[in-house]
Amino acid sequence: MVLKARVPCWIGFLAMWPAMPTAADKQGFYNGAGISAATYRISTDLDSGMKGSRVAGGRLEAGHVWDVGRAGGFRLGVAVAYDHWGEAEDTRVDYHGTVRETFRARFVAVNCVLQQEIAPWVDFVFKAGPGFGSFDARREYLEPVHPYPPESSSGEGLGGSYIAGFDFFPVPHLVLEIAGQVNWFTPGGSYFLDAVGVAALSGSLQYRF
C-alpha cells in the first residue's frame, strides 16, 4: 500500500520537474568552473607544427544576470571569465637537429551576457566582450647538429571573446552550461607570433545565488 501511495507522488514530481526552476533561479550573482576542449589557431611567420594543436583547458567565471522585465524571458548580464589552456607540443627534425616546441595561452574576458529563455529548464545564452591574453612559448634542440641554447618567448595583448551555448537548469540554483567559444588576442611587439586564436567547446557548472 505504501508503494502504491508513493507512485502518484513520483509521477507528479516528474511532471512538475521541468517547471521547477523559477525566474529567481535565473537571475542574480553566479560563479562557476568548468573544462574545455580547445584548438590553438596560431598566426606566425615560423613553420610551427602547433597550429591546430588540440589541448584541454580549465575556466572560471563569475557574473550577474538581471531580469529586465521584458516578456519572453529575456535577461541581460555581465561576466568575467578566465580561461587557462593546456600546453601544446610539437617535435620535428630540421637542418639544425631535433627541435621541440611548446606553447601555452591564457585569456581573461569581460563579457556582456544575453540570455533568452527557450523553456523553463533551458536558455540560449550569448556572451561577447573585450579581453586580454598572454602566451608562453619555448624551443629547444634535443639532438642538435651544433649546440643551441633553448629559446623562450612570451607575449600579451588585447583581443576579444565570443561565446554561444545553452544553460540547463536541472535543479534550483544550479546551471549546466554547454557552449562553444572563440578567443583571440594580438601580442604587442612579439617577433614570434602575429596573433593567437583559440576555438573551444566548454562545459561548466554554475551556482546562482
Q: Give per-residue pLDDT as tens, 14-68.
A: 444 444 444 446 889 999 999 999 998 876 654 455 667 899 999 999 999 998 8
pLDDT value at residue 10:
46
Closest CA to 79 of 7, 142, 130, 42: 130
Residues 11-44, buried b or exposed e (16+ Cβ, 10 A)?
Answer: eeeeeeeeeebeeebbbbebebebebebbbbbeb
Contact 80, 32 (CB under 8 A): no
pLDDT digits (tens, 9 = 90+) for 144-186: 667 777 888 888 999 999 999 999 999 989 999 999 999 999 8
pLDDT value at residue 13:
44
Residues 6+ apart with CB under 8 A from 177: 32, 34, 125, 165, 166, 167, 168, 202, 203, 204, 205, 206
Closest CA to 171 of 134, 206, 126: 206
CA dist., res. 130 & res. 139, Å (int) = 30
Alpha carbon 180 to its chain centroid, in Å, reads: 7
More confident residue, 97 or 24: 97
Q: What residue type is 43 in one-letter code?
A: S
